[in-house]
Amino acid sequence: MADETNKTAKTAADAKSEAPAKSEAPAKAGKKGETIKVVGPIDGRWRGGTWFGPTAIEVDLSTITPAQLAAIEGDPLLSVKRS
């Protein structure tokens, strides 16, 4: 039984070393310095991994993905302005 466990561990280690390296960074919604200003409802709201309340939040588009930007811009309870 020890041989079985050892073979499984070796196989898992081999598979990990053979996995392709991720060299591409995830896509970003914009370049560094491109921003949006977002105002949320009084009681706040989470959208795209960020909490938005009644005070404007400036979001640098280089820090979020296109999917997060789409979620923020598509939310009818958030006011979004491009800066």
| Buried-exposed string 65-78: b where 16+ CB fall within 10 A, e elsewhere | eeebbebbeebeeb
Q: Averaged over 16-33, what is the pLDDT?
A: 73
Q: Which residue has the tokens 């561990």?
A: 9
Q: What is the pLDDT of residue 19?
A: 54
Q: Residue 25 — very low, low, confident or very high, per pLDDT cuts 50/70/90?
A: confident
Does residue 61 have a pLDDT over 90? yes
Domain range list for the chain? 26-83
Q: Which of 14-18, 24-28, 62-66 has the highest mean pLDDT?
A: 62-66
